[in-house]
């Protein structure tokens, strides 16, 4: 891998580690670890939400699926907007009035410990499957960058590295580290997305109307 690529990867990981270290010094108590002392700015929380819904599936799986003519994933994303509005209006106020550290604690408090436990377990199972798939997709790209291959050996090593790295800063810094690294990732994703579009635009040596016509002709 070229030196510049290594420099970008190492620099990015160093910034993530630094954020986790700084946050860890302020997350030594349960309230700080899970709630960051309720001191996260609204704009940072919003950036974190955006970064959370973006993943390798967004940049790797979704374009491939759309290219094949299946836009169901896009419909799911559009449907998420009204869902977020409903959650923000009707559910978040109840959560913020509660002293619980998670929404599952609120469910348990309101409907009983069994309901809270069932909701929590359901979420964990869903996250385990979904996050596992996203980790696998992300590791394929990272493995190609680091090792020039996505064979089982390099891929397994990449998955281990990514999983351990993200777990360490999350465990060390708590929700504060997660939110601020999410902010960084959201900014990086937006900037890189714009840069990628500009680069692709310059690489396509044809008028846009001709490009659109070719895409339509190709189905």
pLDDT for position 29: 57
pLDDT digits over 110-145, tens only?
888 899 899 999 999 988 888 888 888 888 888 887
pLDDT for position 118: 93
Q: In angstroms, rounded to a whole number, what is the distance separating the alpha carbons of residues 87 and 109?
A: 19
102 token code pair: 């998670």
pLDDT digits over 173-192, tens only?
778 888 888 888 888 888 88
pLDDT for position 125: 93
Q: In angstroms, rounded to a whole number, what is the distance separating the alpha carbons of residues 43 and 98?
A: 21
Residue 205, classed as helix, strand or coil, is coil
Q: In angstroms, rounded to a whole number, what is the distance separating the alpha carbons of residues 105 and 95?
A: 9
Q: Residue 112, class by beta-carbon neighbours within 10 Å (0-12 exposed, 13-18 middle, 19+ buried)?
A: exposed
pLDDT digits over 13-62, tens only?
788 777 777 766 665 555 667 777 777 888 888 888 888 777 767 777 77
Q: In angstroms, rounded to a whole number, what is the distance separating the alpha carbons of residues 79 and 76?
A: 5
The lowest-confidence range among 64-78, 123-137, 146-160 is: 64-78
pLDDT band at 91 (very low <50, low <70, confident <90, very high): confident
pLDDT for position 122: 93
Q: In angstroms, rounded to a whole number, what is the distance separating the alpha carbons of residues 212 and 218?
A: 10
**CB < 8 Å & 24+ apart, contacts of 22-27:** 22/173, 22/177, 23/172, 23/173, 23/174, 23/176, 23/177, 23/180, 24/172, 24/173, 24/174, 24/177, 26/176, 27/172, 27/173, 27/174, 27/175, 27/176, 27/177
100 token code pair: 């619980």
Q: In angstroms, rounded to a whole number, what is the distance separating the alpha carbons of residues 160 and 99?
A: 36
**Domain spans in the chain, listed from the N-terminal domain onward:** 3-217
State yes or no: pLDDT of 76 exceeds 80. Answer: no
State yes or no: pLDDT of 99 exceeds 80. Answer: no
Against a cut of 0.85, is the pTM above it? no
> Across all residues in the chain, what is the average pLDDT?
80
State yes or no: pLDDT of 74 exceeds 60. Answer: yes
pLDDT for position 43: 87
């Amino acid at each position: 891998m070229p030196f510049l690529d290594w420099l970008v990867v190492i620099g990015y990981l160093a910034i993530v580690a630094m954020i986790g270290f700084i946050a860890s010094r302020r997350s030594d108590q349960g309230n700080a670890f899970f709630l960051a002392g309720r001191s996260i700015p609204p704009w940072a929380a919003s950036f974190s939400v955006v970064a959370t819904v973006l993943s390798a599936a967004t940049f790797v799986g979704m374009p491939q699926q759309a290219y094949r003519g299946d836009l169901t994933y896009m419909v799911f994303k559009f449907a998420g907007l009204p869902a977020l509005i409903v959650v923000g209006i009707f559910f978040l106020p109840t959560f913020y009035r509660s002293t619980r550290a998670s929404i599952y604690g609120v469910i348990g408090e309101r409907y009983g410990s069994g309901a809270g436990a069932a909701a929590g377990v359901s979420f964990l199972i869903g996250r385990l499957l979904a996050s596992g798939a996203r980790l696998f997709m992300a590791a394929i790209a990272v493995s190609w960058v680091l090792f020039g291959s996505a064979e089982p050996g390099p891929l397994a090593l990449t998955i281990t590295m990514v999983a351990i790295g993200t777990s360490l800063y999350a465990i060390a810094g708590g929700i504060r580290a997660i939110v601020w690294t999410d902010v960084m990732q959201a900014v990086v994703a937006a900037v890189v997305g714009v840069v990628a579009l500009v680069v692709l635009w310059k690489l396509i040596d044809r008028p846009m109307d001709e490009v659109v016509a070719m895409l339509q002709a190709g189905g």
